[in-house]
Structure formats: C-alpha cells, structure tokens
Amino acid sequence: MDRTSRIYVAGHRGLVGGAILRRLEREGFSNLITRSHAELDLTRQADVERFFEEERPEYVFLAAAKVGGILANATYPADFIRDNLQIQTNVIDAAYRFGVRKLLFLGSSCMYPKHAPQPMKEEHLLTGPLEPTNEPYAVAKIAGIVMVRSYRRQYGFSGISLMPTNLYGPGDNFDLQTSHVLPALIRKFHEAKLAGAPAVTVWGTGTPRREFLHVDDLADAALFLMERYDEEEIVNVGVGEDVSIAELAEIVRDVVGYEGEIVYDTSKPDGTPRKLLDVSRLHALGWRARIGLREGIEQTYRRYCEHAG
Ligand code: GDP
C-alpha cells in the first residue's frame, strides 16, 4: 500500500473499523473510502457491486459485521447468520470482481471449537463443535474464512484472514445488557464511584480467564499484515497472556478509583473457563502487542469519561 492507494474500510463506524481508519489517517494515507450504513447497505449485492464499480478500491479492510454479546446472539440468531453471510459474500466477491489488490477479513476467537485446547492455535479451526450460543455468528464468519481461502486457491485472489481475541477500547459498547465484560466493568465501577455505592457486582465466580487486546493494537497488526503477509493460513491476533475476571475487576477498580467492595454474583454464568490465543505465528512474523492492559484500560476510561460527560 502506498500513501495514495485507494483504501476502503468497511465498517468504519464500528470498534475495529474505526480504529483501522484512525490508524490509516495518522499514517498519512490520503485516499480513504468509507460509507455509512445509511449510504451503503452491504447486505444488498447490487448496491455493493455498484459501489465497487464506481470507487474501484485497491485495498479493502472488511471490518463490517453484525456483532453483539451473548444476549443479542440468543435473541437474533437469524439476523446474525444472514447479515454476516450477506455482507462478507457481497464484499469479498465484489472485491475480486472489481480488481481489488488485497482484502483483509476479520474473524474472531469465538469461531474456534468450544473445547479447543488452550492456548488456541490456528489449526484448531473446524476441529470440533462450536459454542451453541453464538453458533449462527460463528458459522457465518467461518464461511467467510473459507471463502477468502477458496478465492485465493481458485482465482489467485489476495485475501488474508485474522482472528482477533477479545477486543476493547474507545468506541466500545458500554450497554450493560449487551456488552462484554471489560466495558461493563468500566461502566459499573464508574457509576458506583459517582453514586458512592458500597459494592460492585461482578458476574460469575471471577475465576474464568480471558485475554484482552486493545483495538489500536489490532489496527496496528491489521496494517502490518496487510503490508507484509500474503498466505492462506489464518493468523491469530492477541497478546498471548490472559487474566482472571477477578484480576481484571481489581485493575478496573483501581483505574476508576473506586473504593468500595467487589462482590461476585455466582448465579450468573462463568462461560468458558479460559479463552486464550496462541500467538506464536504472529510473533514469528515479527509483530507483538504493545499496549499493556492497565495502560489500555486507563486510556479507554479517560475516553469513556469524556463521552459519558
Ligand atoms: P465471553 O468472553 O464470551 O464469556 O463474554 P463476556 O465478556 O460477556 O464474559 C466474560 C466473563 O466475564 C464471564 O465469565 C462473565 O460472567 C464475566 N463477567 C463478570 N461481570 C460481567 C459483566 O458485568 N458483564 C459481562 N458481560 N460479563 C461479566
């Protein structure tokens, strides 16, 4: 990619697309193409084809997807499988047909089998049953990976697929019903501090372990791989370390400056005991995450306060 390449970031209003766009702007890429959902509905094949025909992007970051937490996935399973299949099929196929030089597709660690050995390696994909709660989403995204791989094999199309771990950062979803744990804890501790509440409730036992990658690190990895990686194998993108939910809660409490207690609501589910990616392939390619968890939470909390007012 050079600084004047025509680069389309699909999903630039989302957590991931937004971070990729900020990063490209900061690096001085001057021909960035974006469309809001209202301007271009990616589930409409004819509209997507017309857009590619007119704009002729050379590089595509496909960060558009229908995403949500466990509750949203359980409530709208049909929407999750349909919208994701449509979006990625339309964009990948149009990218190939209209001469895109390279496309980067984003999967997610929830596409690995529910009982994959930890840490999860790239070759564990499609080796066992999925977590039932997000199966429609995961099946759609797995189809995207297989599609990217197949377009490479049959047409020689340069598509690569990344598997990010749990992401967090500015622009995250802070809705307590639908968010993931990290934004939920930031909001809970912040509101408890303001209200002078005696305790904050954390779901589950606090023992499950999760890995958290700052979305700016993901954007950095995405640019790095777009410029230097061109193989069909997927690449895990994570930090290679995890923390327990209890450790995470302590860090967030500290960063927010809340002085009350933490209580665990064990009537809420723990979910899978551990979710950690093996990042040796990424390290071998020469990339490592740089934003430490505490530092990343501090930055996210500052931004949250600016927006929460
Ligand atoms: P998961 O990684 O797919 O399991 O999704 P989550 O990020 O929603 O949850 C991770 C872990 O954090 C689970 O063990 C949750 O029970 C726990 N957790 C603790 N407090 C909260 C909370 O307030 N919200 C959410 N979403 N999870 C929480």
Q: What digits encode the pLDDT tens for the residues 147-202?
A: 999 999 999 999 999 999 999 998 898 988 888 899 999 999 999 999 999 999 99
Nearest CA to ligand 1 atom 22: 181
**128 C-alpha vs ligand 1 centroid, how far in Å?**
23
- Statement: residue 115 has pLDDT above 70: yes
Instruction: Point out the ligand 1 atom lying closest to the alpha carbon of residue 110.
Output: 3
Pocket test for ligand 1, best of 134, 175, 181 (most atoms within 8 A of CB): 181
**What pLDDT sits at residue 86?**
98
Percent pLDDT > 70 in the chain is 100
**What pLDDT sits at residue 81?**
98
**What pLDDT sits at residue 156?**
98
- Statement: residue 84 has pLDDT above 70: yes
- Averaged pLDDT, 112-117: 94
Res. 242 pLDDT band, cuts 50 70 90 = very high
Instruction: Point out the ligand 1 atom lying closest to the alpha carbon of residue 131.
Output: 3
Q: What digits encode the pLDDT tens for the residues 14-35?
A: 999 999 999 999 999 999 999 9
Residue 251, both tokens: 């860090």
- Statement: residue 4 has pLDDT above 80: yes
**70 C-alpha vs ligand 1 centroid, how far in Å?**
9
At residue 82, what are phi and psi to the nearest 5 degrees?
Answer: -65, -55
**205 C-alpha vs ligand 1 centroid, how far in Å?**
10
- Statement: residue 227 has pLDDT above 60: yes
Give catalytic residues, as residue numbers.
137
Res. 72 pLDDT band, cuts 50 70 90 = confident
Instruction: Point out the ligand 1 atom lying closest to the alpha carbon of residue 268.
Output: 16
**What pLDDT sits at residue 70?**
78
**300 C-alpha vs ligand 1 centroid, how far in Å?**
18
Question: Which residue ranges have their beta carbon within 6 Å of ligand 1?
Answer: 69-70, 166, 179-181, 184, 202-204, 208, 210, 245, 268-271, 275
Nearest CA to ligand 1 atom 8: 180
- Averaged pLDDT, 95-112: 96
- Averaged pLDDT, 203-212: 96
**CB-based contacts of 39, cutoff 8 Å, min separation 6:** none
**What pLDDT sits at residue 269?**
87
Q: What digits encode the pLDDT tens for the residues 264-301?
A: 999 998 888 899 999 999 999 999 999 999 999 999 99
**What pLDDT sits at residue 71?**
80
Nearest CA to ligand 1 atom 23: 184
**180 C-alpha vs ligand 1 centroid, how far in Å?**
6
- Statement: residue 309 has pLDDT above 60: no
Res. 51 pLDDT band, cuts 50 70 90 = very high
**What pLDDT sits at residue 68?**
84
Pocket test for ligand 1, best of 180, 187, 248, 262 (most atoms within 8 A of CB): 180
